[in-house]
Structure 1
Amino acid sequence: MSSTEAAARERVIGALRAQSDTVSDRWVQLQLAQEEMRDIVSERELREEADILLGALLQGLESDVPAQRLVATDRSLRQAVTDISMRRARGGAMPTVTSMAVLSLKEALLEAVQRQTRDTDELFTTAVLINRLLDAAGALSFETYVEGREEIIRRQSRQLLEVSTPVVRLWRQVLAVPLIGTLDTTRTQVVMENLLEAIQEHEALVAIIDITGVPTVDTAVAQHLMQTVNAVRLMGADCVISGIRPSIAQTIAQLGIDLSTILTRATLADALAAAVKLTDEAAHRPSGRVRENP
């Protein structure tokens, strides 16, 4: 660390020690001046964030870590910046607002340093140091925001998928999954997980997959259905596929898709009747299991 940087650090440290409350208040005011921020974070939360971040910043500056690496390597400082960004992301703030919240701390810190010295050279070197620190913090906050929003979007998408693929108990030991829309790999995985968990919970012997709401069945959709059927069979249950409309039956035949090992029915009512019959037959067998290929 050069003597110039060391002196600049001492000035920032001195400003934080002597004017911590003033810097905190100023930073909160600058953030509240952004109209978008008022509806996302309360003033109380902003003050809590300021106390934590300024405390972590002071602790980091008192270490020997170079300024350009401080935000990346100091655990407390990095966590403070990350928490601020994640709170903005959950609140729905734009990424620029999130970055500006961190970068506005520059102004509050520089004002505090100016109250300690008027020397131009000292102010310049201190400003360079503050810029290095908070530019890194701003970049981290932006990166964290993007990752946080992506995680929120993924979680919401999964929740929507789970809502759109409910597992319904139709009869004793009979479950049904009404599918609506396109069946892709991600949705197949959700259907499979929910259905297998429900089979275990309800000790189901038959699972009906109703594709009445699936607009088209191509090779990919058929493969996804077969994956689900195979997983269900591994759980000791069997599948009935309902909703085979004439157009879908014709498409399956033209594509040469083999569903001969799966019991199919035209309507959900027909599938339920077949499933009830299968469970009744299974009840009279010593194993209590549905036959492998009904």
Structure 2
Amino acid sequence: MALSAEESSRLTGLLDEHAERITNRWVELLAASLRGRLSQAELRRQVQELHHAMIEAARSGGFDLESESAGELRAVLAELSRGRARQGFTATETATSVYALKDVMLEVLETDTTDARTLRDYVAFSSLVDQMGLFTFESFVRTRESLIADQAEQLLELSTPVVKIWEGVVAVPLVGTLDSARAQVVMERLLQTLVDTSSPYAIIDITGVPAVDTQVAQHILKTVVAARLMGADCIISGIRPQIAQTIVALGIEFGDIATKASLADALRHVLRLTGVEAARRQPRRES
């Protein structure tokens, strides 16, 4: 709800006339609510930017947050929200930074005016602050969602490493649930590593996968087929008894794909395929 021209004029006058008092009291309230998590200098800078943007918006076209003249005010509120989201503050703490202005303005109105307009001005100004708080909350949520999406992508990258075991052999140790998004990342990273290393063999270890269902098996099979198109043979390791029983019960066929019970078995299998025999340590003879 936009303020009337008369209300905007009176409140702009109050913001301008009591600028220092409003700023100091606003910073004081925020410092108490945030319990020292931001410095006084940083809080003062943020409050002064908001205070200035509010006055400029009012002078340009009245207190209407949705108007074109409030573009700077919206930008300042959005920047405040993004900064607080990145610094780990909650949405409530962020919105409180705006809502604290209500208490400040009530104190100013009570001491500056004594007529019936005080209540009307405060109600009108509270409505504006509510809009600002809502805008701040929405900006905070969007930033948090973006941060969570970025972090999820980074975790996905870290959770699907492709390790070069030795020349010509790479391994993909899978841990946790294998869904469609993660399976796509596994396939892309494995294929890229096969190209970069020119490796003819790849081991896909599912020891850390808690359960294998039809969907997980399909993801693995697609990865194996894609690797074969790149000229590499895949060995699947980590087939525990419970997983083997599940695969049989589901009627999943791995065809001619080599499967091994453990990563060690898979490594020995690759050694045989490459013609390399593991050196065995001979026991020392006692003299």
Aligned-pair distance for 1:278? 6.0
Shift of 1:248: 2.5
Change (3 A) 1:259 1:56: same
**Match for residue 259 of structure 1?**
254
1:224-251 C-alpha deviation (Å, 9 max, x unpaired): 2123334444555443211223432332
In structure 1, the gaps of 5 or more residues are: 281-294
1:6 corresponds to which residue? 5
Q: Structure 2 matches for 1:143-162, cutoff 5 A?
A: 143-162=138-157
The TM-score with structure 2 as length reference comes to: 0.81
Instruction: Give 1:79's aligned residue.
Output: 75
Distance 1:45 1:276, change over 3 A: farther
Shift of 1:277: 6.3
Within the alignment, does 1:138 sit opposite 2:133 as a pair?
Answer: yes
Superposed CA deviations along residues 165-203 of structure 1, whole A, max 9, x for unmatched, are: 322111123221111232223332343343344334434
Comparing 148-157 with 203-212, which one deviates more in the overlay? 148-157
SS at match of 1:92: coil
1:64 aligned to 2:61?
yes
Structure 1 residue corresponding to 2:211, chosen from 216, 219, 237: 216
Matches of 1:51 and 1:204, distance apart in 2 = 60
CA distance in 1, matches of 2:229, 2:107: 68
**Alpha-carbon distance between aligned partners in 1 of 2:18 and 2:231, rounded to the nearest angstrom:** 69
Q: 1:82 to 1:183 in 2, by over 3 A?
A: same
Which amino acid in structure 2 is aligned with residue 74 of structure 1? A
- The 2-side partners of 1:21 and 1:193 are apart by 58
Structure 2 residue aligned with 1:38: 35
Name the structure 2 match of 1:227: 222
In 1, Cα distance between the equivalents of 2:63 and 2:230?
Answer: 58
Indicate yes or no: 2:102 matched with 1:106.
Answer: yes
Amino acid at match of 1:19: H
SS of corresponding position for 1:183: coil
Q: CA deviation at 1:147?
A: 3.1
Could you tell me whether the CA contact under 8 Å between 2:64 and 2:70 is conserved in 1?
A: no
CA contact under 8 A between 1:16 and 1:54: conserved in structure 2? yes
Cα contact 2:8–2:62 (8 A) shared by 1: no
- Inter-partner Cα distance in structure 1 for 2:70 and 2:188: 40
Q: 2:230 & 2:119 partners in 1: Cα distance?
A: 70
Amino acid corresponding to residue 81 of structure 1 in structure 2: L
**Structure 1 pair 232/43, CA: closer, same or farther in 2 (3 Å)?**
farther
Distance 2:140 2:187 in 1: 32
Q: Are the structure 2 counterparts of residues 62 and 249 from structure 1 closer, same or farther at C-alpha, using a change threshold of 3 Å? A: same
- More divergent stretch after superposition (77-86 vs 44-53): 77-86
| Deviation (angstroms), 1:137 | 1.1
**RMSD over equivalenced CA pairs, Å:** 3.1
> 1:12, 1:109 within 8 Å by CA — same for their partners in 2?
no
Amino acid across the alignment from 2:187: M
Q: Give aligned-pair identity as a percent.
A: 44
Distance in 1 (alpha carbons) for counterparts of 2:88 and 2:170: 38
Number of matched residues?
A: 276
| Residues 65, 132 of structure 2: 8 Å contact kept | no
Quick one: structure 1 residues 82 and 238, their matched pair in 2 at CA, closer, same or farther if it must change by over 3 Å?
Answer: farther
